[in-house]
A = this chain, B = another copy of it.
Amino acid sequence: MRTIKVKTASASYSVFVGDGFVNKVSALVRPLVAKTRGRIFVLTSPEIWALWGERFTGSFPEQAKPEVLFLPAGERFKRLAEVERLAAELSAAGADRSSLLLAFGGGIVGDVGGFLAAIYMRGIDYVQLPTTLLSQVDSSVGGKTGVNLTTGKNLIGSFHHPRAVYADIDVLNTLPDRELRAGLMESVKAGIIRDARLFSYMEKNAARILARDAEALEYVIATSVRMKAEVVGIDERESGLRMVLNLGHTVGHAIEAVTKYRVLLHGEAVGWGMLAALQIARGRETVTDAQAERIERVIKAYGPLPGFRATAEALAEATARDKKNRAGTRRFVLPVGIGASTVVDDVSEAELLAAIEQMLGRR
C-alpha cells in the first residue's frame, strides 16, 4: 500500500493505493463517522454493484449494512435531476449532517457523489472509492465535483474534498481493457507534464502495466496521484499551476463535444488532444523532434486511439467554447521537454488549425 497526502488551503486527507480495501470498507470508514448516530450511505451503479456489492457490504455487521443508492451508468445521468433524486432518497432515508457518503464507482459516480455530498444539507462528508483507472489516478483526487448541463460538461459543480480516497487495485480486475487504457492516458499526461521518471517507467513497462501487474499498477497510480496532489496543493482552485493538468484537454474536449461524447472515451480524446498539443510544442520548439517522437510513441503504446469523424474547422471552433478558454483567447498547455510543461495564452487560429490538421493526419 502507498499513501499520498493531499494538503490544500481548505482540506487535508490521504489517498491510499493498494489492494483488498473493498473487503474491509467497514473498518476503513467507521472511524470517520460519529459513533452512535453517523449513518453510512453508498452511491454506486448497478453494474459495479453486481460485480462487487457482496464483497463491499461483507465487512459491515448485519444490523449496520450501509444504505445503497444507485446511479445508472453513463454520462447522460451526470445531471442535476439525478442529484435531486438522490438527495430526496438520502432525506427520505433519514440522512443528516453526521452521515457519510461512500462514492463507489468510476469518475461519474465520483463526480455525482462528491457533488451530492457537497450540497446535501450544505455539505456532508464523503469518501471516494474509485473503481476505474481514470478515477483512481485523476478524478477522485483534487476536490472537483459536479454535473453537466446540456450546454456543456461539468458546468455545474463544487470544490468539495473527500475525507479519504481508497483506490483498490483489485477492483480494476473487472474493468474493460479499453477503459483501463483510456485511464492510463491521464497517467501518461502526468508523466509528460511533471514527472519524467513516471514517463520513463510507463515507456519501459507498457506491457506489464497493460497486463495489470499489481505492482506496476500500484506504482503508476500512486505516482500519478502524487503528481496531482502536489499540483492541487499549490493551486487548489485552478488559478494558475493547476491548469497544466489540462494538457491534451483543449482539443480533447473539442473532439468529445464534436462527436457528442459517443465515439471516444475521455482518455482517448485526451490522447488525441496531447498529440495536437505536441504539434504546437514542436512548432514553438518547447520540445525537440526526438522528444516529440518519444512522447507520441508512449501515447500510442497505451492506445489504440480509435478514429473519429470531424473536420479541423469544427474542432477549432469547438475549442472556443471550452470553459477553460477565457473570452476569445486560445489557451494551451504545452510540454516542455519531458516532465515539464507550460501554459500559453496566445495560440493563434492558424497555429491551432495546423496542429489539429497534423493530429487528424495521424488517425
Contacts and interface: CB of A to CB of B under 8 A. Distances in A.
A305 to B, nearest CB: 29
Interface string A30-47: 000000110000000000
Contact of A146 (B36, B84, B92, B122): B122
A151 to B, nearest CB: 4
A122 B144 contact: yes
Contacts of A88: 149-151
Given A96-B323, A98-B326, A120-B155, 6 more contacts: A80-B80, A80-B81, A97-B326, A119-B146, A121-B156, A122-B157
B155 A118 contact: no
22 contacts: A36-B327, A80-B80, A80-B81, A80-B83, A80-B84, A81-B81, A84-B156, A87-B149, A87-B155, A88-B149, A88-B151, A91-B152, A91-B155, A118-B158, A119-B146, A119-B156, A120-B155, A121-B155, A121-B156, A121-B157, A123-B158, A158-B158
Interface string A149-166: 111100111110000000
A135 B360 CA distance: 56
A158 B118 CA distance: 7
Contact of A96 (B84, B97, B327): B327
Contacts of A80: 80-81, 83-84
Interface in A75-102: 80-81, 83-84, 87-88, 91-92, 96-98
Nearest to A119: B156
Contacts of A323: 96-97, 121
A83 B323 CA distance: 19
